[in-house]
A = this chain, B = another copy of it.
Amino acid sequence: MDSNAKDRFISGPLELRDAALFTDLYELTMAASYFREGMTGQATFSLFVRRLPPERPFLIAAGLEDVLNFLQGFHFSDRAVAYLGSLKRFDPSFLDHLKTLRFSGTVRAVPEGTPIFADEPLLEITAPIMEAQLVEAAVLNFCHFQTLLATKAARCVLAARGRPVVEFGLRRTHGIDAGMKAARCAYIAGAVMSSNVLAGLEYGIPPTGTMAHSYVTAFPREIDAFRAFASAFPEHAILLIDTYDTIAAAHKAVQVAKEMEQQGRRLAAVRLDSGDIVELSRRVRAILDQAGLDYVKIFVSGGLDEYLIDEYLERGAPVDAFGVGTRMDVSADVPYLDMAYKLVRYDGRDVLKISQGKQTWAGEKQVWRERGADGRYRGDVIALKDEPAPAPGAEPLLRTVMENGRVLEPHPSLAEIRERCARAIRELPGELLRVRDAGSYPVRFSEALTALQRSRQAEVVAAEVSPITAPK
């Protein structure tokens, strides 16, 4: 690692300078207090989603690669420490301590691309409490957003029933990083390509694209645009046919396709982006077929999500592929998850909060996934970390991926993560794969975890909830 790179958290094509300050101030004020109190004990924080949102019968875990890169490079630059000093609220001894602080802990995590459910830890971080606390906001940010997006994309891919889904949403994602991660997450979840060229360079995701309305309007006549595009890209031409009148344009596309045939070429597809897609796709299919162009595919885009894809296919629209953008890439119906990073154990003591509606489960955990007779997953058990398997053949989801602040093995490739995700989704109960009114997946807590929770809860209630007497 050269001296320049030391100040940066590298995330694909993005570099974040002074990454240790990509955090909430309270992490630093709490760390300062731990330092002042001499609290150096080991803490375990658990990252999980409190409840599944409506229409999300499962989540796809993602974001771990960024977390591990961040933790491995974690440090405070001189500039960062100087800035904290300028705030006039931290002791010089604490600031000195930050200068040499590195992340020295352990990470146990569910692999990216794995389906998970409410209360199941995506990861647990065990480290001296200052370190584990200081990384909270970044760890949450990376895993929350990517899990949100991979989950939404998986639903769109399921809705398309085997037809290709292409990620198209760069322009309306929430910023630069979101634009990149949307391509990565959609690819993990089974999208076949992305419009994002930089994602092609950085992640190896095949880039694809057609033409915009601006291209058509830049030419004197629509057919001129079609001809120019077909001659520039005889192998990849997809003509956008809704700029003026979709049916009229379909006839022009036929004309251009026939001209291409005379040169031994084939028009790849036409794209519909507006109007009544079911009706228009049928009429366009008929126009193409009547012209002997059954090989020309129909590509649809425009405000798509899993609900609309499902509806189009239910109604029999002859669509061959979908370009899915904004609604998938902002997870429009569920734009955030109730994901939290909570202390579950400190210095040998299992801890919990009992805030109304936000109670947490004490203790370090493991998640066991069990299969039914049909080979599909049939239920999970959330257990204490060191409990034995609840039944023969149950698979533990959390694996140790970092020790002493160093990753234990190279992160799997994107292709491997994608394959894992596809396989795992196929192994979920079928009723979880419906776009609407999906079933729910059985998750239970082990007896040992339940017993620990009851006892810790009773202790906390006795100690903290009873009305206190007047100040001494």
Measuring CB to CB, which residues of chain A are less than 8 angstroms from any residue of chain B? 11, 13-19, 21-30, 32-34, 36-37, 39, 43, 45, 79-80, 83-84, 87, 89, 129, 133, 136-137, 140-141, 144-145, 148-149, 168, 170-181, 195-198, 200-201, 207-218, 220-222, 228-229, 231-233, 235-236, 242-245, 247-249, 251-252, 254-255, 258-259, 273-276, 326-327, 330-332, 335-337, 339, 341-343, 346, 349, 351-358, 460-461, 463-468, 471-472
Contacts and interface: CB of A to CB of B under 8 A. Distances in A.
23 contacts: A13-B17, A22-B170, A26-B209, A28-B197, A29-B209, A30-B214, A36-B228, A43-B214, A129-B218, A140-B172, A145-B175, A172-B339, A213-B353, A242-B355, A242-B356, A244-B354, A244-B460, A244-B464, A245-B354, A248-B466, A251-B467, A255-B468, A274-B357
Contacts of A28: 197, 209
A217 to B, nearest CB: 4
Of A463, A464, A465, which is in contact with the most chain B CB atoms at under 10 Å from its CB? Answer: A464
Contacts of A343: 213-214, 217-218
Nearest to A132: B214
Contacts of A356: 242, 274-276
A442 to B, nearest CB: 28
Contact of A145 (B140, B173, B331): B173
A414 B425 CA distance: 46
Query: Which 8 pairs between the two chains have the least Cβ-Cβ distance?
Result: A26-B209, A175-B177, A25-B209, A174-B174, A214-B343, A140-B171, A244-B464, A24-B195
Nearest to A339: B172
Nearest to A168: B24
Contacts of A346: 217-218
A342 B176 contact: no
Nearest to A230: B33
A258 B22 CA distance: 35
B83 A30 contact: no
Nearest to A216: B353
A466 to B, nearest CB: 7
Contact of A221 (B196, B236, B258, B464): B464
Of A23, A196, A228, A465, which is in contact with the most chain B CB atoms at under 10 Å from its CB? Answer: A23
B218 A39 contact: yes
A452 to B, nearest CB: 15
Contacts of A460: 244
A353 B80 contact: no
Given A217-B343, A467-B251, A243 B209 contact: no
Contacts of A172: 140-141, 144-145, 336-337, 339
Nearest to A357: B274
A466 B247 CA distance: 10
A37 B16 CA distance: 41
Contact of A33 (B26, B196, B221, B232): B232
